[in-house]
């Protein structure tokens, strides 16, 4: 870790990056934003922006249930609940009993209400309010290892599933006619998003996590013409927003998560302009 | 590409029925789809044409048997189907080129990492076979109706299917595009000698191109050559006029 710190210190000659907490945050951004950027491309293609928002909200319930069940590790509780919740939404959505956004809305509001009910017992919600806005400066080297593992695992799964997901997002019946198990593929993707969201939520916050997933991918989509360009732009914009946002937040003394999201939003605005200029 | 070894092989549908929620969508549909022939399904909206296709593709649970049989009546294991949908309901703004789309179906290598040389050549070859060279680098959402149908046909032809199923592929294409598409289809029929099942509303087209016509309304009302089916009383009952009148027009 010390070697990484000293390397970072020398390649980032800014006052902000003389502190280890900033270096940790920087490393977390390097791991987190490409992960969310890549997953985001498919979330956008599958029109799942609202879905990932609902997933973020379910983190509240996950922590709440973890407390009730006596789980000491919040992250484990969130992961388990997030995955179950994601699969449930996916299955109900696929059964086609109601339109997707209705299903998602039901799940989203239910999980927020259940989470609040548990966490705000006896007026103690203030203890958990950090969860809403996140704190990327609280990242520890141990967290970074988790993030690295998640990034590698996600990249492997992502490589295996990408083409099937792509065909499914174009036309699921056509994909099935070519032997793709579309339901399984969709559920696997949803689980990947759930894991990525739950891993990042403590640092980015329930309120902003979805923006990190969707904004760079949406901006990339405005500029890209092919799948490859979409992935590249999405990752580049996610990294750019993450690093610029984090650095600005130090000098402006603002919330890191909010700064990152605002930089992404700016990228999105520019991408819209680029797109209309091209047309 | 390998040709089928026998001119008489066919796909045998034996009493296919589909029920959903207590409703009978298809009842005892029996028919043969011969290889080297263009079989056309006709019927009113709601007659069960798309249902039959979905059953055939394994998308809908059904009773009855679907067999792939050679000239001696022996079962051929595996029926490889290629499917061309009526239209794609996809987001036309999606950053996805025709090449990405086809490569994603041909290989496991994730297309966002790029398309390898071999796959690139395979995509070009597949597109050339349906006279769609030059579409490869176009975004899929920018293709016209006719161009999209060609791309979908190229996809359905790879790997080479025993049975090619097209669900009303000619809707929403202009006259020229239509002619080109059908000529390509007939060309493929000749060179690949596969069985083709096509749903169509365009009776003039059916008369001109079909080798075998099946009139469907929950079950098979009539089947035979276009002339035979158009002259049948069932045809006039379904379409409200006889095939002869249509010809006189």
Instruction: Give the residue from B163, B198, B186 showing the smallest Cα distance to B10.
Output: B163
* Closest CA relative to residue B207, chosen from B180, B242, B163: B242
Provide the 3-class DSSP secondary structure of residue B134. coil
Give Cα separations from A279 to A58, A242, B97, B137 (angstroms).
40, 29, 18, 18
With bands split at pLDDT 50, 70 and 90, how would you rate the model's confidence at B197?
Answer: very high
Lowest-confidence pick of A95-99, A192-196, B35-39: A95-99
Determine, for residues B104 and A167 on separate chains, whether the beta-carbon distance falls below 8 Å.
yes
Sorted by sequence, the CB contacts under 8 Å of residue B71 that are 6+ apart come out as B6, B7, B8, B9
Q: What pLDDT shows up at residue B245? A: 56
Q: What is the mean pLDDT of residues B150-156?
A: 92
| pLDDT at site B244 | 56
Q: Poorest-confidence range of A62-76, A142-156, A226-240?
A: A62-76
Q: Model confidence over B218-247: pLDDT tens digits? A: 999 999 999 999 999 999 888 887 655 555
- CB-count burial class (<10 Å; 0-12, 13-18, 19+) for B240: exposed
Selecting from B85, B95, B97 the residue whose C-beta is nearest the C-beta of A171 gives B85
pLDDT of residue B242: 66
In the predicted structure, residue A68 carries a pLDDT above the cut 90: no
- Strands, E assignment, A214-264: none
Report whether CATH 1.10.3470.10 matches the domain A16-206: yes
Read off φ and ψ for residue B28, nearest 5 degrees.
45, 55
Residue of A nearest to B60 (CA): A173
Residues of A in Cβ contact (< 8 Å) with B155: 178
Query: Of A24, A59, A51, nearest to A200 (Cα)?
Result: A59
CATH numeric code, B1-80+162-249: 3.40.50.300
A116 phi and psi angles, rounded to 5 deg? -65, -40
**Mean pLDDT of the A130-149 span:** 85
Whether the pLDDT of residue A55 is over 60: the answer is yes
Query: Phi/psi at B116 (nearest 5 deg)?
Result: -70, 165
B219-224 and B212-217 strand pairing: antiparallel
Q: At B28, is the secondary structure helix, strand, or coil?
A: strand
Across A57-84, average pLDDT:
84
pLDDT tens-digit map of A267-278? 999 999 999 988
* Separation between Cα atoms, residue A204 and residue A31, nearest integer Å: 13
- pLDDT confidence of residue B243: 59
- CA-angle at B162, arms to B161 and B166, nearest 5°: 70
Which candidate in B93, B112, B123 is best for mutational testing of the A interface (most A CBs within 10 A)? B112
- Name the minimum distance, in Å, from the CA of A277 to any CA of chain B: 16
Q: Are A63 and A179 in contact (CB under 8 A)?
A: no
Dist. CA A47–CA B183, nearest whole Å: 37
Q: What is the pLDDT of residue B193?
A: 84
Provide the shortest C-alpha distance from residue B242 to chain A (in Å): 36
User: Model ipTM?
Assistant: 0.84
Identify the weakest region by mean pLDDT among A22-26, A93-97, A224-228, A255-259: A93-97
pLDDT band at B4 (very low <50, low <70, confident <90, very high): very low
Predicted confidence (pLDDT) per residue in A198-231, tens digit? 888 888 888 888 899 999 999 999 999 999 999 9
Which H, E and C letters describe B59-79, residue by residue?
A: CCCCEEEEEEECCCCCECCCC
Q: Which residues neighbour B89 within 8 Å (Cβ) at sequence distance 6 or greater? A: A171
Mean pLDDT in residue range A255-260: 90
SS3 content of chain B, % helix, strand, coil (to 5): 35, 25, 35
**Per-residue confidence (pLDDT) for residue B105, from 0 to 100:** 93
**Residues B158-184: tens digit of each pLDDT:** 888 889 999 887 666 777 777 788 888
Residues contacting residue B245 through CB under 8 Å, at least 6 positions apart: none
Q: How far apart are CA A223 and CA A236, in angstroms?
A: 12
Cα–Cα nearest to A230, from B104, B191, B246: B104
pLDDT band at A97 (very low <50, low <70, confident <90, very high): low
- Residue ranges of chain B that CATH labels 3.40.50.300: 1-80+162-249
Are A131 and A59 within 8 A, CB to CB? yes
Specify whether the CB–CB gap between A154 and A195 falls below 8 A.
yes
The helix/strand/coil state of B1 is: coil
Please indicate whether, in this complex, the C-beta atoms of B59 and A173 are within 8 angstroms of each other.
yes
Cβ B13 vs Cβ B63: under 8 Å: no
The pLDDT value recorded for residue B217 is 92
Q: For the whole model, what pTM was predicted?
A: 0.87
Q: Spell out which chain A residues touch chain B, with contact meaning CB-CB distance below 8 angstroms.
A: 41, 45, 47, 158-160, 162-164, 166-167, 169-171, 173-174, 176-178, 220-221, 224-232
- Closest residue in B to A163 (Cα–Cα): B104
Do the Cβ atoms of A176 and B100 come within 8 Å? Answer: no
What is the predicted pLDDT for the residue at B3? Answer: 40
- Cα Dmax for chain A: 57
Query: pLDDT at residue B95 above 80?
Result: yes
d(CA B64, CA B52): 12
Among A12, A76, A9, A19, which residue's Cα sits nearest to residue A243?
A12
Task: Show which of residues 37-66 on chain B sit within 8 Å of chain A, judged by CB atoms.
Answer: 57, 59
Distance from CA of A29 to the nearest CA of B (A): 22
Query: Which B residues 102-121 touch A at CB under 8 Å?
Result: 103-105, 107-114
Give the pLDDT confidence score for residue B21 in this predicted structure.
83
Chain B: residue nearest A165 by CA?
B104
Sheet holding B163-167, edge to edge: B81-84, B163-167, B195-199, B38-42, B212-217, B219-224
Query: Are β-strands B38-42 and B195-199 bridged in parallel, bridged antiparallel, or unpaired?
Result: parallel
Interatomic CA distance for residues A47 and A167, integer angstroms: 14
3-state secondary structure (DSSP) of residue B212:
strand
- Reported as a single tens digit per residue, the pLDDT across B22-55 is 899 999 999 999 988 999 999 988 888 999 999 9
Q: What is the pLDDT of residues A102-138, one digit of tens each?
A: 888 888 898 889 888 888 887 777 777 777 888 888 8
Query: Whole-number mean pLDDT of chain B?
Result: 86
Residues β-bridged to residue B84: B166
The predicted structure's pLDDT at residue A245: 94
Lowest-pLDDT range of A97-111, A182-196, B109-123, B201-215: A97-111
Residue of B nearest to A180 (CA): B105
Residue B6, CB-side half-sphere exposure with 13 Å CA sphere: 14
- pLDDT, residue B172, reads 64
Q: Which of A51, A42, A44 is nearest to A100 (CA)?
A: A51
Confidence of residue A49 (pLDDT cuts 50, 70, 90): confident
Residue in A47, A158, A227 closest to B95 by CB = A227
Whether B180 and B31 have beta carbons less than 8 Å apart is answered as no
Query: Which residues are CB-neighbours of A59 under 8 A, at least 6 positions away?
Result: A78, A81, A82, A115, A131, A197, A198, A201, A206
């Amino acid at each position: 870790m010390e070697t990484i710190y000293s390397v970072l210190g020398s390649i980032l000659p800014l006052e902000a990056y003389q502190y280890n907490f900033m270096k940790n945050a920087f490393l977390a951004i390097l791991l987190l934003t490409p992960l969310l950027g890549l997953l985001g491309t498919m979330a956008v293609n599958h029109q799942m922006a609202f879905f990932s928002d609902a997933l973020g909200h379910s983190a509240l319930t996950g922590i709440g249930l973890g407390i009730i069940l006596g789980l000491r590790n919040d992250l484990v509780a969130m992961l388990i609940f997030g995955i179950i919740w994601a699969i449930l939404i996916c299955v109900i959505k696929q059964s086609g009993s109601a339109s997707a956004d209705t299903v998602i809305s039901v799940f989203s509001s239910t999980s927020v209400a259940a989470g609040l009910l548990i966490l705000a017992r006896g007026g103690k919600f203030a203890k958990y309010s950090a969860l809403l806005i996140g704190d990327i400066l609280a990242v520890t080297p141990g967290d970074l290892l988790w993030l690295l593992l998640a990034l590698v695992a996600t990249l492997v799964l992502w490589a295996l599933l990408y083409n099937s997901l792509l065909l499914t997002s174009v036309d699921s019946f056509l994909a099935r006619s070519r032997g793709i198990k579309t339901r399984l593929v969709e559920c696997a993707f949803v689980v990947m998003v759930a894991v990525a969201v739950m891993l990042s939520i403590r640092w980015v916050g329930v309120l902003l996590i979805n923006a990190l997933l969707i904004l760079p991918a949406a901006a990339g989509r405005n500029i890209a013409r092919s799948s490859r360009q979409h992935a590249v732009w999405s990752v580049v914009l996610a990294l750019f927003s993450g690093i610029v946002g984090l650095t600005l937040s130090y000098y402006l003394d603002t919330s890191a998560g909010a700064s990152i999201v605002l930089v992404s939003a700016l990228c999105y605005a520019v991408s819209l302009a680029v797109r209309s200029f091209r047309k | 590409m390998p040709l089928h070894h026998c001119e008489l092989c066919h796909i045998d549908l034996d009493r296919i029925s589909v029920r959903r929620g207590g409703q009978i969508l298809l009842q005892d549909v029996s028919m043969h789809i011969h290889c080297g022939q263009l079989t056309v399904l006709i019927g009113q909206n709601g007659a069960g044409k798309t249902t039959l296709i979905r059953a055939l593709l394994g998308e809908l649970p059904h009773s009855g048997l679907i067999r792939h049989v050679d000239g001696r009546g022996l079962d051929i294991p595996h029926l490889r189907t290629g499917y061309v949908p009526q239209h794609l309901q996809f987001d036309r703004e999606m950053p996805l080129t025709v090449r990405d789309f086809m490569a994603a179906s041909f290989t496991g290598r994730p297309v966002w990492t790029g398309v390898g040389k071999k796959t690139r050549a395979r995509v070009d070859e597949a597109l050339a076979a349906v006279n769609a060279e030059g579409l490869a680098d176009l975004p899929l959402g920018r293709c016209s109706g006719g161009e999209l149908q060609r791309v979908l046909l190229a996809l359905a032809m790879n790997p080479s299917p025993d049975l090619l199923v097209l669900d009303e592929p000619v809707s929403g294409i202009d006259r020229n595009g239509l002619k080109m598409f059908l000529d390509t289809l007939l060309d493929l029929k000749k060179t690949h000698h596969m069985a083709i099942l096509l749903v169509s509303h365009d009776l003039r087209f059916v008369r001109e191109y079909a080798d075998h016509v099946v009139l469907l309304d929950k079950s098979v009302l009539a089947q035979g050559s276009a002339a035979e089916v158009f002259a049948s009383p069932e045809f006039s009952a379904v379409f409200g006029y006889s095939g002869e009148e249509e010809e006189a027009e």
